[in-house]
């Protein structure tokens, strides 16, 4: 999946906070209401709601339409976009070293140039 | 690799900008000087330096000690920390659906409960 730069900006910015990462972590195990999400934190409901708004604007979560509970849901495609970006650059880095390794292996396999001193016994003192 | 929450905050925040992502992208192909990094951008050297400082503080890049050129180098372990965090939660999400699939497959394999009407022919009108 290819994400626009703006979506990537928003996804990475949303993940740059421990409370929001904990919310994403909880939602990876299943949908949850705001009260359920707030339970493990020493944080007010408005405090949690603020984080949920950042996550919702980033596309990382969506919220149900049920007016009373509005369960939160992880939008895994947005997570994939961020994962793909980092993964692609990680592979780019690895491939660079694979190429270096192949180059070095090629150099080691090539016959060493004959030394002009080769085969000559050094006269004993 | 396990990263502290602070390192993850900094790594994700550093990646939440298109210029900084482009710098990471360039460095994934090899070390580069500030001038080389600045070349593709319509940005002043101090502008690029500001982004480099954010990347350096996040641990995503380091800079050489050569006073004149100080080439920038991608610190791939920091990228791995961010990749691992997202990857772990992506797998958590997948495993949840794998379990659901297994549960549904189990239900489908189980014999259907015998209906009390089973075997009885309905009288023709």
pLDDT tens digits for range A94-115: 998 888 888 888 888 877 666 5
What crossing angle do the helices spanning B5-15 and A18-27 adopt, rounded to 10°?
A: 90
Which of B8, B79, B85 shows the shortest C-beta gap to A89? Answer: B79
Residues of B with CB under 8 A from a CB of A: 5, 8-10, 12-13, 15-18, 21, 24-25, 28-30, 74, 76, 79-80, 82-83, 85-87, 89-90, 92-93, 96
Tokens found for residue A47: 């405090």
How high is the pLDDT of residue A123?
Answer: 47
Query: Could you tell me which residues come within 8 angstroms of residue B87 by beta carbon, excluding any fewer than 6 positions away?
Result: A83
Measure CA of the first residue to CA of the last residue in chain B; give whole Å.
75
SS3 B119: coil
Polymer length of chain A: 125
Contacts A–B by Cβ distance under 8 A: 85
ipTM given for this complex: 0.80
To test the contact with chain A by mutation, choose from B13, B16, B21 the residue with the greatest count of A C-beta atoms within 10 A, namely: B16
Does the pLDDT value for residue A125 go beyond 50? no
Whether B89 sits inside 8 A of A28 (CB atoms) is yes
- The whole-number pLDDT of residue B114 equals 60
Residue A3 clears pLDDT 80, i.e. is over it = no
User: Distance between CA B81 and CA A23 in Å, rounded?
Assistant: 18
B18, closest residue in chain A (CA to CA): A5
Report the residue count for chain B. Answer: 125
Which DSSP category does A57 fall into? H
Q: State the greatest distance between any 2 C-alpha atoms of chain B, in Å, as a whole number.
A: 101
- Please list the residues that pair with A62 across neighbouring strands: A73
Mean pLDDT of the A114-121 span: 50
Owner of token pair 């292996």: A105
Mean pLDDT, rounded, for A22-26? 96
The model's pTM is 0.80
* Token pair recorded at residue B83: 């990749």
Cα–Cα separations (whole angstroms), residue A28 to A23, A75, B30, B45, B77: 9, 9, 35, 42, 24
β-pairing, A61-63 vs A72-74, is antiparallel
Contact B90 A76 (CB under 8 A): yes
Q: Give pLDDT, residue A55.
A: 98
B34 closest CA partner among B23, B42, B19: B23
Mean pLDDT in runs of 10 for chain B (125 residues)?
Answer: 84 97 96 92 90 97 84 95 96 87 82 55 46
> In this predicted structure, what is the pLDDT of residue A66?
74
Q: Which residue, among A25, A33, A98, has the nearest Cα to A72 in the 3D structure?
A: A33
Please tell me whether residue A62 adopts helix, strand or coil conformation.
strand
The tens digit of pLDDT for each residue in A58-84 reads 999 999 887 777 899 999 999 999 999
For A32-61, what is each residue's pLDDT tens digit?
999 999 999 888 889 999 999 999 999 999
**Of the candidates A115, A11, A114, the residue with the CA atom closest to the CA atom of residue A60:** A11
> B83 and A85 in contact by Cβ < 8 A?
no
Rounded CA-CA distance B47/B88 in Å is: 35
Q: Quick one: pLDDT at residue A113?
A: 63
Q: Using a CB-CB distance cutoff of 8 angstroms, which residues of chain B are in contact with residue A79? A: 86, 89-90, 93
Q: Looking at residue B88, what is its pLDDT? A: 96
């Amino acid at each position: 999946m290819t994400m626009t730069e703006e979506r990537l900006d928003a996804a990475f910015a949303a993940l740059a906070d421990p409370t929001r990462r904990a919310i994403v972590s909880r939602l990876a195990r299943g949908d949850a209401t705001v009260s359920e999400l707030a339970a493990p934190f020493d944080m007010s409901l408005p405090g949690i709601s603020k984080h949920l708004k950042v996550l919702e604007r980033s596309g990382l979560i969506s919220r149900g339409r049920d007016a009373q509970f509005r369960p939160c849901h992880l939008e895994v495609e947005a997570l994939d976009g961020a994962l793909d970006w980092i993964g692609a650059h990680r592979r780019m880095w690895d491939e660079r070293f694979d190429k270096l390794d192949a180059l070095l292996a090629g150099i080691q396999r090539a016959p060493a140039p004959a030394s002009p001193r080769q085969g000559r016994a050094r006269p004993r003192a």
